[in-house]
Amino acid sequence: MSRSASRRRFLQVASASGAYSALGDVRFLSQLSPLRAEEVKPQSTMVQLQPEIEPLVRLIEDTPRERLLEEVAGRIRRGVSYRELLAALQLAGVRNVQPRPEVGFKFHSVLVVNSAHLASVASPDEHRWLPIFWALDYFKDAQADDVRQGNWTMAPVNEAALPAAHKARAAWIEAMDRWDESAADAAIAALVRSASSTEIFELMFRYGARDFRSIGHKAIFVANSMRTLQVIGWQHAEPVLRSLSYALLLHEGSNPADRDGDADRPWRKNSERANKIREDWQAGAPDDKATLELLTTLRGGSADESSDKVVELLNRGAAPASLWDALLTGAAELLVRQGGIVSLHAVTTANALHYAWQTSGNDNTRRMLLLQCSAFVPLFLAAMGGRGKVQPFELDKLEPASITGEPTAAVEEIFAGLKGDRLATAAKTLALLKNRGNAQSFMDAARVLIFLKGTNTHDYKFSSAALEDYFAISPAWRDRYLAASVFNLRGSTEPDNELVKRTRTALTA
């Protein structure tokens, strides 16, 4: 995408939504004065970034929220690329927002960057800047929260503590197993400087899935970090992976290495189960009956029972893909059984673990990711039980409802109906997908409505995960999976979010 084309597309009117018809001429932004060198010089108490990206990061960090979108729009007009802006946004987040007290809350300003990018990539040209501008605005909100909570900033790494390059891998593993934050910080910096991205993320996949804390955000941060670095470049890896390493060591109470905590128990038990899976487990055959069998276990079984069922089905010859059908569908089914933050994270965590499973080249790691996901889905269900009534529902028994009109009108009817009976809307969605095969039209509309109506990071995180996983699930199950997604998508009758209104006002002033 050329820079001139990018600028034109940002200002184009979205024909499907008509939402940006009020945008006006923003030539006034060219009058902004350039930043002086001393304004972008890193402070000695904060980690230094690559010199070519530091000025843009400082712009994002230091510009007040009410002026940031206008300032960034001006930089785009003067040549800043999408990739540069994405990198600066990610780096501003990891340098300024602490992944404490949870790998969530304000830290969603980091976790949402990849989701915003995925939304941009999958969108029509005229919408592609919008998710990133939303994430920029959200960063300022998270930055303010961090200031109120103590104003944490990532410090420079302790260079004197770095292990030798040939010892960095072992040092990081040892520190992570001991839950030693300072040793892990030094070791990951040394590892980034001496190892490949593939080698490092093979390790990260395991530690991201190691424990059920922060309702899956550890696994999500691992997947999102890898995917974002693939876009912005490995030269930015050190601060990102220092933040990730720190986040993976979050725990409550005493050192988890010295106790058998509930959050850690599935990994320890699954480490033993992994050795009981037959050697040629990845060569199994597709098996819809195995999918339903595992799905049935997930609905009422414990983490142990679900993991045991995975071992049984793999040894019986079922393909891993058939079991992932059950895990991804089982997570989506929870959306119908109880709306809210927990079921939403069941979907986004399953997405992250499945991405790691697809990416990993290590046989044992792939076994563990499959087993951990089979344990996590029942743990999410148990967590939902502590928040209120969990409705009985079986997604494979959802019947398609009748829907009339052309596909475009049918999609409009579906999203207009989200204000009312969502189960009825899910049935209409299933009819649309099964009878007319209009998944792409449905997804395009869903994304536009997230841009216009979304109010929080979970709108982006959930929609990016759910719309991506539609293609990861076999045809026998994917339509039902996507139908369940309406329980956490935005409807067309909802008001535009404040950012849309603010952007329109700011760029037409």
Q: Output b/e per residue, 169-183; b: 16+ Cβ within 10 A.
A: bebbbebbeebbeeb
Q: In the predicted model, is pLDDT for residue 436 greater than 90?
A: no
User: Quick check: 28 pLDDT over 70?
Assistant: no
Structure tokens at 302: 């414990």
Q: What is d(CA 146, CA 150) in angstroms, rounded to the nearest whole number? A: 6
Positive or negative, the Cα torsion across 301, 307, 308, 309?
positive
Judged by phi (left if over 0) then psi (alpha if -120 to 50, else beta), residue 153 lies in beta
Give the pLDDT band of residue 397 (cuts 50, 70, 90): very high
Q: What is the token pair recorded at 34? A: 């350039």
Query: Does residue 374 register a pLDDT over 50?
Result: yes
Q: Give the Cα separation of 352 and 205 in Å (integer).
A: 10
The residue whose two tokens read 């148990």 is 382
CA dihedral 159, 226, 210, 150 (to 10 degrees): 60
Which of 311, 341, 347, 343 has the alpha carbon at shortest distance from 328?
A: 347
Separation CA 266–CA 171 (nearest Å): 25
Share of the chain above pLDDT 70, in %: 89
Q: Quick check: helix, strand or coil at residue 488?
A: helix
pLDDT for the residue 438: 83
Return the bridge partners of 318, or none: 285
- Give the span between the Cα atoms of 46 and 241, in whole angstroms: 16
Separation CA 331–CA 460 (nearest Å): 17
Dig out the tokens for 301 from the structure. Answer: 């079984």
Query: pLDDT tens, 296-331?
Result: 999 999 999 999 999 999 999 999 999 999 999 999
The two tokens of residue 358 are: 């697809």
132 CB-near residues (< 8 Å, 6+ apart): 82, 85, 86, 89, 116, 117, 120
What's the token pair of residue 378?
């029942």
Residue scoring higher pLDDT (26 or 119): 119
Tell me the pLDDT band of 231, cut-offs 50, 70 and 90.
very high
Residue 403 amino acid letter: I
Average pLDDT over residues 415-422: 91
Say how far residue 422 (Cα) sits from the centre of its chain: 24
Strand residues in 79-226 grouped as ranges (E): none
Q: How far apart are CA 336 and CA 32, in angstroms?
A: 49
Quote the CA–CA distance of 173 and 247 in Å, as a whole number.
Answer: 15
Maximum distance among all alpha carbons in the chain?
A: 69
**Cα 447 to Cα 310: distance, rounded to the nearest angstrom:** 34
Nearest CA to 217 among 116, 334, 346?
A: 346
pTM of the model: 0.90
Strand residues in 219-298 grouped as ranges (E): none
- Give pLDDT, residue 499: 80
Number of C-beta neighbours around residue 20 at 10 A: 20
pLDDT given for residue 45 in this prediction = 75
Distance (Å) of CA 177 to CA 173, 218, 354, 373, 408 = 6, 15, 24, 21, 53
For residue 288, the SS3 value is helix
CB 22 within 8 A of CB 508: yes
Predicted confidence band of residue 408 (pLDDT cuts 50, 70, 90): confident
Cα distance between residue 338 and residue 109, in whole Å: 26
144-190 pLDDT per residue, tens: 999 999 999 999 999 999 999 999 999 999 999 999 999 999 999 99
Reduced to 3 states, what is the DSSP secondary structure of residue 502? helix
Task: Show the CA angle centred on residue 356, arms to residues 252 and 154, nearest 5°.
Answer: 50
Tell me if 385 sits within 8 A of 223, measured CB to CB: no
Which of these, 211, 198, 210, lies nearest to 237 by C-alpha position?
198
Residue 254 has pLDDT above 70, yes or no: yes
Lowest mean pLDDT among 330-334, 496-500, 502-506: 502-506
- What is the average pLDDT value for the chain, to the nearest integer? 89
What are the residues facing 285 on neighbouring strands? 318
